[in-house]
Amino acid sequence: MPTIEVTQTGAVVTVTLNRPDVRNAFNETLIDEMTAWAEAVRPGPDARVVVLRGAGKVFCAGADLGWMSKMVAYSAEENIRDARAAARMFAALDRLPLPLVGRIHGAALGGGAGLAAVCDIVVAADDAVFGFTEAKLGIVPAVISPFTVAKIGQSAARELFLTAARFSATRAREIGLVHSVVPSDELDRTVESFVRELMTSAPGAIAGAKALIAAVAGKEPAAVSDLTAETIARHRVSPEGQDGMLAFLEKRPAPWTR
């Protein structure tokens, strides 16, 4: 059985964490399969939005116990190699050129909360539970920290990394980890509404916007003024930009919305 299941309906790709018997916990195989998939993704008309979800009752419970039992016996070098593989997976998902929508139910703990941090849009069931629980085990959420701190800020990270306490979907929304909290029976409908909205944006513009956010985050405006000017100029003269602006001026639908 593959640890992730990738299906596609129209231009919407659904990636399902497929280890429900262990609450979709990470192991080496899941990390390898997710990384290989994410690094192979290319933007285009055939695939425009990705929905990330979990099979069974839980989105993702973090690290698999069997995987963790191996870590205990790893040398420092083996631990570094293992952690770098996980970091590569999170980075590949973070850089995905397609919009990534997280559908969170049950729980997103440890690395599962890290997955929420690398999603562009996160919809959570109102009874979902989150937590950066690593400190309870004597370890730290190191690999996911660049993505998580960028998402929730230093203040929330100081509280939640240090206490390792579980917190509600409502709190996750308050700190920016989640964008929409809905009853469980509205989860799919809400995800679909975000997907429909994303499909009205141009694929190249979405990929460009994601890259732009990463490039300007934390920078002074003067430091990125050349980059931002060159970026908008490049998109204005691109075929996609020309099509979109002409469609607006001529009061007709843009080609990617048809």
The answer to whether residue 175 scores a pLDDT higher than 90 is yes
Boundaries of every domain in the chain: 4-198, 203-257
Residue 156: band (very low, low, confident or very high) from pLDDT cuts 50, 70, 90: very high
What string of H, E and C letters represents the secondary structure of 133-162?
CHHHHCCCCCCCHHHHHHHHHHHHHHHHHH
The answer to whether residue 258 scores a pLDDT higher than 90 is no
Sequence-separated contacts (24+) of 225-232 with Cβ below 8 Å: none
Is 203-257 CATH 2.40.10.10? no
CATH superfamily for domain 4-198: 2-enoyl-CoA Hydratase; Chain A, domain 1 (3.90.226.10)
User: What are 199-254's pLDDT values in tens digits?
Assistant: 999 999 999 999 999 999 999 999 999 999 999 999 999 999 999 999 999 999 99
Residue 15 to residue 7: CA distance in whole angstroms? 7
* Predicted TM-score (pTM) of this structure: 0.95
Q: Do domains 4-198 and 203-257 have the same CATH topology?
A: no
Under 8 Å between Cβ of 31 and 62: no
Residue 90: band (very low, low, confident or very high) from pLDDT cuts 50, 70, 90: very high
Q: Is 23 left (phi over 0), alpha (psi -120 to 50) or beta?
A: left
Mean pLDDT of the chain: 95
What string of H, E and C letters represents the secondary structure of 200-244?
CCCHHHHHHHHHHHHHHCCCCHHHHHHHHHHHHHHHHHCHHHHHH
SS3 109: strand
Residue 33 to residue 121: CA distance in whole angstroms? 22
Tokens of 179: 């964008």
For residue 248, what pLDDT is reported?
95
For residue 42, what pLDDT is reported?
84
Q: What are residue 9's phi and psi, to 5 degrees? A: -125, 110
SS3 117: helix
**Tell me, what DSSP letter sits at residue 185?**
G
Other C-beta atoms within 10 Å of 5: how many? 14
For residue 65, what pLDDT is reported?
73
Residue 3 to residue 29: CA distance in whole angstroms? 7
User: What are 45-79's pLDDT values in tens digits?
Assistant: 789 999 999 999 999 998 887 777 777 778 888 88
